[in-house]
Amino acid sequence: MEEFLGPQAQYNEEEEERKYYRRKRLGVIKNVAASSFGAMIVYSVYMGLLQMQLTLHYDMTYREVKYSNLGLEDIDRKMLMGINVTPIIGLLYTPVLIRFLGIKWMMFLASGIYALFVSTNYWERYYTLVPSAVAIGVAIVPFWASLGSYITRMAQQYYEYANYKEEHVQEQRKLPKGACYSYIITFQSIFFVIFNLSFVFAEFPMRLVLHEYLHENSHVLCNVKTCGAAIKGIIPGFNSTVLRNLPRSMLLIEVESILMGFAFLAMIIFLLLCGPAYRPTEEIDLRSIGWGNIFQLPFKHLRDYRLRLLCPFFIYSGLEMLFIISGFSLSYGVCILGIKTLWLLILVYARWVCLMGGAAVHGVLLVVLLAMTVKPNSPEYLGPLLVIMVLWGLGSALNKTGVSTVVGLLYAEEKERLDFVYTIYHWWQAIAIFVVYLWSQMPMRAKLSILLATLLLACCCYWVMERRVAQKVKPRMPRIPRPRHKVKGYRYLEEDNSDESDSEGSEEDDDEDEEERTEEDERVVEE
């Protein structure tokens, strides 16, 4: 018995502790990779299916033969409206959903909504496609806000596990300024490198399934007079029939079944491979500040000058992303080279994976596009368009990674604020996407001018923000209320004496409230 219960001579506590935290660090890396691949699969399925669906529904013969008077064109218009318009109200409910469900479960639920959209394509009707598109619009902002918060939180966790011997880590105090910056930059870069592969895999249905059914350029571009900066709308005169013959219904069902399988795979990845973002006690703290406060805090965070000055970059991020997919790819790529080359343009856009560097690349390209007017069916422009697409992809990768990283760095030490600030970021991005959806009939030069003006404004605001941060101008951040630990429905383990009487506890609570009121009054007077 003494040999069994006594101290083991071969047991090394320090070595076991080191191995334990090494496993924890590997778990964090697994979480980052799993969330990145999950998001990549979700958007590969979503964009691939949407592109194939819109191409089929555009063809007049497909609509008349297969669906007669169903009105697929009107259904597509309302479906795109649901996807692009609904995220505008995302600021009202996103923080509440994330705090109620948690970051991991919010990502899982959002991926399930994308899978629901895939399933509705088995029975293409108004009452299946439009509600599922609206559901995607509702889920977009919470999904991306959760992803941004999750990656930043993983960087914080990695720092804690790598420096577990530090006193501030053991006592779970606030992290020192700049402690986890390198991890945030690394993890955000890893996420966007993996996620950008979704543009590659999204072209598989178009290239492997529909490519052989598409008409040649001489047919689809026969009525198109000019392309590039001189046009108004998308592609004026584009032929209403793009399919040589209709694909078999069974073939389309098989493709949708494969996409459905990958959508379920993404859900399983989020559910089984992504670990929790917070400790259980931290989750309780985050939810215990009151639902009214959770609803108000995103609006109050807009008083922070750092977020206000980053808003133009948030807007430009949404503008350029949808413009390159729906504007440049169609008005320049398809208009000049034909619809059969669309997959190649998107492919080279995704192969390239610092904020101002991306802005400089996009600024030069926007000036080039403003001066570019080309005749349709000009295959000699394939090389220049591929170069433009590659450089734009490089700028987009730098832009997306840079914006998300800057937001994470500014609030690296504020764990409880991450979901609010990422919600604001993706809400402004959603508004910009809605603007691009509305301007489809505008002249191309007007679209490019708006993009260029937004980019210049974003660069100026970013420079002002960096100057203020360097001068240590204190931002005006709202105070997050303390968690209400003593709430009916669950027990919360507190560090203070659990045997205290109610009178003692109430006196201490009154003292704490008085101190908080005094600090708040002093802060208001100082401001």
SS (H, E, C) 144-187: HHHHHHHHHHHHHHHHHHHCCCCHHHHCCCCCCCCCCHHHHHHH
- Residue 243: beta bridge partners? 214
Tell me the C-alpha distance between 66 and 63, whole Å.
6
Which parts of the chain have pLDDT scores under 50? 352-353, 487-510, 512
CA angle 493, 158, 106 (to 5 degrees): 65
Cβ neighbour number for residue 333 with a 10 Å cutoff: 26
Query: Helix crossing, 418-438 with 382-410: angle to 10°?
Result: 150
Strand duo 373-374 + 227-228: pairing: antiparallel
Phi-psi region of 263 (alpha: psi -120 to 50; beta: other; left: phi over 0): alpha
pLDDT at 136: 93
Domain boundary assignment for the chain: 15-471
Task: Report the amino acid identity of residue 452.
Answer: L
**What are the angstrom distances between the C-alpha of 184 and each of 150, 152, 401?**
11, 6, 11
CA angle 506, 512, 518 (to 5 degrees): 135
**What are the angstrom distances between the C-alpha of 306 and each of 86, 279, 409, 474, 477?**
27, 29, 11, 10, 10
CATH number (3.90.226.10, 1.20.210.10, 3.20.20.70, 1.20.1250.20) of 15-471 reads 1.20.1250.20
- Secondary structure (DSSP) of 11-39: --HHHHHHHHHHHHHHHHHHHHHHHHHHH
CA angle 143, 148, 152 (to 5 degrees): 145
pLDDT at 524: 52
Three-state SS at 412: coil
Estimate to the nearest angstrom the gap between the alpha carbon of 92 and the chain centroid.
17
pLDDT at 502: 40
Our separate counts of H helices and E strands in the chain read 23, 2
Burial class, 240, CB count within 10 angstroms (exposed 0-12 / middle 13-18 / buried 19+): exposed
* Contact between residue 199 and residue 347 where contact means Cβ atoms under 8 Å apart: yes
Helix, strand, coil percent values for the chain (each to nearest 5) = 75, 0, 25
Tell me the C-alpha distance between 147 and 422, whole Å.
9
Three-state SS at 426: helix
Tell me the C-alpha distance between 121 and 285, whole Å.
42
* Contact between residue 135 and residue 157 where contact means Cβ atoms under 8 Å apart: no
Estimate to the nearest angstrom the gap between the alpha carbon of 61 and the chain centroid.
36
Q: Which helix (H) or strand (E) holds 227?
A: strand 227-228
Tell me the C-alpha distance between 207 and 220, whole Å.
17
pLDDT at 123: 84
**pTM (2 d.p.):** 0.83
- Residue 227: beta bridge partners? 374
